[in-house]
Structure 1
Amino acid sequence: MQLVIVTGLSGSGKSIVLKMLEDSGYYCIDNLPATLLPQISEHLSQGHHDQVAISIDTRSASLQALPQNLRQLKDSGMEVQVLFLEANVETLVKRYSETRRRHPLSNETNTLAESISHERHLLEPLVDLGLRIDTSNLSANTLRNWVKEFVIRKSNGLTLLFSSFGFKHGIPLDADYVFDVRCLPNPYYDKELRPYTGQDQVICDFLEQQASVQLMFDDISGFVERWLPSFVADNRSYLTVALGCTGGQHRSVYLVERLGKYFREREGKVMIRHRELEKA
């Protein structure tokens, strides 16, 4: 049985993910108490469900039991994947204001922002259990596509995830490492190159002529290669490396594509994201 655990902050998109998984043929359970995870997983594995998705959040009073329960399920041979969704405070406040829904931790004494902060603190032990996705700047459709890519991959081993972004749109919360490539020559200032992206050959040709771009690639790839075995030894499932330029269109996109190709040939398990391109 393939089991996908969906957790994270309220308002970050868990309902969208669970609905997408249900439409994709998963048997879905919302708001399961963490202590019941082993029993319900064993029960479902004995039936006719080979794909199951379970949402666990702060409405469960037993979150502290989740890490241990997940280890037990993995030790038993079950394929378990964990998806942790989050977003920045401004985005969550806006979403709650638009939907006029009540935050599950809100009360007469806490503001909405304080409730969000408290929930983030409660969920801190779960952040590194699987793949983190910052949904602050994602459309619902982009989130669905990213999750589809996530669930079709095997959980064994570590997957490298390279992501480009634009600093003017904010630093992604889900990155393990962030590299600033704004110091590199910018194709944006050439009017003929401006309409293209780092995925287009004309931008690749321009950047490959810059010695500083090659130095940046060598430094980042060398850093990741040097420390990757340590993350594998730590039993990490995902390592997210984010590269940012000003707008997330040219330099960071080019380097992410190149790094993805480089490590795919050596490590195999590589995912690529371009936050600003996909948002557009």
Structure 2
Amino acid sequence: MAAQEQRVLIVTGLSGAGRSSAANALEDAGWYVVDNLPPRLVPELARMLGAAGIHNLAAVLDVRSRALFADVMPALAELRATGLDIDPEILFLEANDEVIVRRQESARRPHPLQGSGRLLDGVKAERAQLGALRSVADLVIDTSNLNVHQLRDRVSHAYGGEERKFRATIVSFGFKHGVPVDADLVLDVRFLPNPHWIPELRPMTGMDQPVRDYVLSQDGATDYLDRIEGLLGEIVIPGYCREGKWLMTIAVGCTGGRHRSTSMAIDLSRRLGLRGIPTSVVHRDAELL
């Protein structure tokens, strides 16, 4: 039997974006989680845990470590070097400025980079300092419109297995509420008739069977899904795996995010599941009016 892969996951991102909730989800999934560790200590801790038979380490690293945070990139390089040969994974959590400010004010804690300035100044400084890590992240999750349970579900889906395996997250959304910034692929289903104009369907969402039946019965709906399924299953996802990319976020959008996008996202998830591709579905805007 092949030796189990040693995995190191760096959890980082903006203060107030949900790092603690992500860390809790990872701990529940069996990861050894450490918070606010000086980055230079990550390779040594990975060695220690590997020798003890503990193969999944999640380290929460962020600007709270102050000047020591500058050691993040050298620590990642050391993990990849001969002797450890670990390909670290990076989970980056973010949210828009308005949400971050609201969460930080609610927590009644100063921002670590705020100093004598405004809270928003600290947020902007943190974005700038984390830019390099975000650019190389394996998975970026925008938590602006996610509740704690949705975030935990996304993290558990992405990192819940013992080994790295390709996983897709499908997010339904409404274009009028903005395109998800963490999407790898955006699908537009506004070409389909809108159930909003059917009085008996208007109060429902695509999570209700009558709406799904209506949407999927429209001309072009199943043809569209057939082609997307084939493109993903036969070309895109195998290509991702060849390139060592194991996580993908697919956004499916309609006008409001209640009817068409939710219906199509659910059926796309079903189809990919039948191909053996683990998927989860998040309905970002389904409950918004």
Q: Does structure 1 residue 32 correspond to structure 2 residue 40?
A: no
**CA distance 1:168–1:221, change in 2 (3 Å):** same
Matched, 1:229 2:234: no
Q: 1:84 aligns with which of 87, 92, 111?
A: 92
RMSD: 3.1
CA contact (8 A) 1:37 1:69 kept: no
Amino acid at match of 2:124: S
| Partner residue in 2 for 1:55 | 60
Distance 1:279 1:22, change over 3 A: farther
Which residue of the other structure, out of 126, 134, 140, is the alignment partner of 1:119? 126
Q: What SS class does the counterpart of residue 200 from structure 2 fall into?
A: coil
Corresponding residue of 1:273: 282
Separation (CA, whole Å) in 2 of partners of 1:253 and 1:41: 41
> 1:73–1:137: structure 2 CA closer, same or farther, 3 Å change rule?
farther
Structure 1 residues 203, 70: closer, same or farther in 2, change over 3 A? farther
Alignment partner of 1:173 out of 165, 178, 181: 181
> What is the aligned partner in structure 1 of residue 3 from structure 2?
none
SS at match of 1:61: helix
Is the CA contact (8 Å cut-off) linking 1:82 and 1:129 kept in structure 2?
yes
Give the equivalent residue in structure 1 for 2:190.
182
* 1:139 alignment partner in structure 2: 147
SS at match of 1:91: helix
Task: Name the SS of the counterpart of 1:211 in structure 2.
Answer: coil
1:209 aligns with 2:214: no
1:8 aligned partner: 13
Deviation at residue 102 of structure 1 after TM alignment: 1.7
Q: 1:107 is matched with which residue: 103, 115, 136?
A: 115
**TM-aligned CA deviation for residue 87 of structure 1:** 0.7
- Mapped to 1, the partners of 2:163 and 2:219 lie a distance apart of 38
Q: Distance in 2 between matches of 1:163 and 1:54?
A: 27
What displacement does 1:233 show? 2.5
Q: Which of 169, 172, 176 is the equivalent residue of 1:164?
A: 172
- Provide Cα deviations, 1:39-71, integer angstroms capped at 9, x if missing partner: 011112333755543211133221222543454
Alpha-carbon distance between aligned partners in 1 of 2:104 and 2:40, rounded to the nearest angstrom: 29
The alignment status of 1:248 with 2:253, answered yes or no, reads no
2-side partners of 1:50 and 1:156: how far apart?
A: 12
Paired residue for 2:267?
A: 258
Q: What letter is aligned with 1:242?
A: A
Given that 2:259 and 2:286 are in contact with CA atoms closer than 8 Å, whether structure 1 keeps it comes out as no
Identity %: 37
SS of the counterpart of 2:70?
coil
Assess if the C-alpha contact under 8 Å between 2:79 and 2:85 holds in 1. no
Contact 1:13 1:135 in 2 (8 A): yes
TM-score in terms of structure 1 length: 0.83
For residue 64 of structure 1, what is the aligned residue in structure 2? 73
Instruction: Report the 3-state secondary structure (helix = DSSP H, G, I; strand = E; otherwise coil) of the residue aligned with 1:6.
Output: strand
Q: CA 1:50–1:215 in structure 2 vs 1: closer, same or farther (change >3 Å)? A: closer
Given candidates 207, 220, 225, the residue that maps to 1:199 is 207
- For structure 2, list consecutive stretches of 5 or more residues without a partner in the other structure: 1-5
Contact 1:81–1:151, Cα closer than 8 Å, also in 2: no
**Counterpart Cα distance in 1 of 2:171 and 2:223:** 19
AA aligned to 1:124 is: G
Give the letter aligned to residue 188 of structure 1. H
Q: CA deviation at 1:202?
A: 1.6
| Partner AA of 1:163 in structure 2 | V
Matched AA of 1:275: R
2:23 equivalent to 1:18: yes
